Amino acid sequence: MSLYDLARSGDVDGLEEMLLESDSPAVRKRACELLGEIATKEDMDAIETLVSVAVTDESSAVKAAAVDGLDEIGAEAVEQLLVEITGEKIDEGADWAVAKRFAKALSSNIPELRMAAASALGKLGDESGINSLKSALSDEDPRVRQRVCMALGEINHPSAVPALIDRLSDPNGQVRHEAAIALSAIGTDQALGALKNMMDADNTAIRRIAASALGEAGTADVVEPLAAALNDPDEGVRSAAIYSIIELLSNVDTQKSHSIRERIVTELQDADDATVEPIVEILEESSQQRQRRNAAWFLGRVVDEPNRKTVDVLVDALESDDTQTAQFAATSLAEMGGELVEDELLELVESDAPDDARAQGVFILGKVGGERSRDVVENLTEDDSKQVRKRAFSAISKLKGR
C-alpha cells in the first residue's frame, strides 16, 4: 500500500513500518508527517518511533519532520523527545514549570531538541517562555529559528514584535516567512506596519511573504495593501494576495466579516482574469470549506464576463457536500448569467448528477434562462425527482413571465 492509502485508512502501524524500513529519505519524511496527522497521544508506539527517528535518522530533513510529527500529536509527545534526549522525566506541574524545562532545552547542543522545545513552548502558550524564545531567534540553525517564530506567533504577545521584525531580514526564506506570519497573527499596529512596508520592497520574495502573511491579520486594515498587490508585476505576489484575501475572510470574526467583505468587493470590482484565476483555483482545489465558500461567493461579485473554466468550476460546486458552498455557487452563477452559464446548466439538469445539484441548476435557469431553458424545464416538471419537479414548476412561471 502507498503512504497515502495507509494514512487514509488510519493504519498507524503500517506507516511506522514504512518509516522504519524505507531507504528513501523522502518516504521517511512523508511517513513522519502523516503519522503526525493521524496518530494520537494514545498511540505510544508511534510516538516512540518518531522520537527514535528524531534522534537517530541520518537525514536532517527526516529528523525535522519527526519533530513536526510529534508536535502535531501534542505537547505530551514532544515531552517524550525531551525525556529521551536528556534522560530526565518531566514531572507534572503548572504550565510555567513545564515551560521552564522547555526553555532550558532551547540551549541544548542538539538542534532537534531545540526545535522540539520551541514547538512545545508555542503549544503551551505560557508567556513565561517568551524571553527565552526571543533569545533563540538568533539560533545558528534556521530550522530552530523557524519554529521559534511559529511559537511566538502562537503565544501571540506584543512584546515579541520587535524581535520578530528583526527576523524579516533573516537570510533564510522560511524564517522570514514564519516571522511575517507570526507578526500578522499578533496584529498590533507595529506588527502590521512592518508587513505593509514589506509590500513596497524591491525584492519579489519579500513582497510575496508579506502578501501571504497579511491574510492572518483578521482586520480590514490590510485590505488596501492586499488589493494593491493584485497589480503587482509578479504573478506569485498577486496569487498570494488573493489567497490572503480569501484566508482573511475565512478566519475573521463574524462580526467583522460583513465590513471586510464589502471593502474587498469594492477593491476587486474591476478584477481581471489574472485576479480571478487564483479564486477559481481555491474553489476547485481547497480542502477547507470556509475558503471554498468565500471563493464561490466572490466570483459572482467580481466576474462580469466569465470564461468556461470559471463557469465549469462553479457548476461543479453545485454538487458540493457543503450546502453553503453549493448555495454561494448558485448565487454567483445567477449573478453572472449569460449564454455560457445557460449552456452548462442545461447540460447539468439533464445529466445523472445528484438531485440537489440538478434542482439548483433548474432554480438558476429560472433566473437566467431563455427559450431553450423553458423547453427543457417544462420537461423536468415530470422528472423522477420531487426536488427537481418542485424547482421546475417554480422556474417555469419565471421563464414564462419573461
Q: How much is the pLDDT for 168? A: 93
Q: How much is the pLDDT for 68? A: 87
Query: What is the pTM (predicted TM-score) of this model?
Result: 0.66
How far, rounded to the nearest angstrom, does the alpha carbon of residue 308 sit from its chain's CA centroid?
26
Q: How much is the pLDDT for 313? A: 96
If 0-12 CB within 10 Å is exposed, 13-18 middle and 19+ buried, where does residue 221 land?
middle
Q: How much is the pLDDT for 338? A: 92
Q: Can you give the pLDDT of all 402 residues of the chain as single tens digits?
A: 788 889 889 999 999 999 999 999 999 999 999 999 999 999 999 999 999 999 899 998 899 899 889 988 987 888 888 778 766 665 555 566 777 878 888 988 888 889 888 988 888 888 888 999 999 999 999 999 999 999 999 999 999 999 999 999 999 999 999 999 999 889 899 999 999 999 988 889 889 999 988 888 877 778 888 888 888 889 889 888 888 888 887 766 666 667 777 777 777 666 566 678 888 988 998 888 888 998 998 888 888 788 999 999 999 999 999 999 999 999 999 999 999 999 999 999 999 999 999 999 999 999 998 888 998 989 999 999 999 999 989 988 888 766
Rg (C-alpha) for the chain, rounded Å, is 26
User: What DSSP string runs through 297-366?
Assistant: HHHHHH-SS--HHHHHHHHHHTT-SSHHHHHHHHHHHHHH-SHHHHHHHHHHHTSS--HHHHHHHHHHHH
Domains of the chain (ranges, CATH numbers): 1-73 (1.25.10), 268-336 (1.25.10), 345-402 (1.25.10)
Q: How many helices (H) and strands (E) does the chain have?
A: 25, 0
Q: What is the distance in angstroms between the CA of the first residue and the CA of the last residue of the chain? A: 58
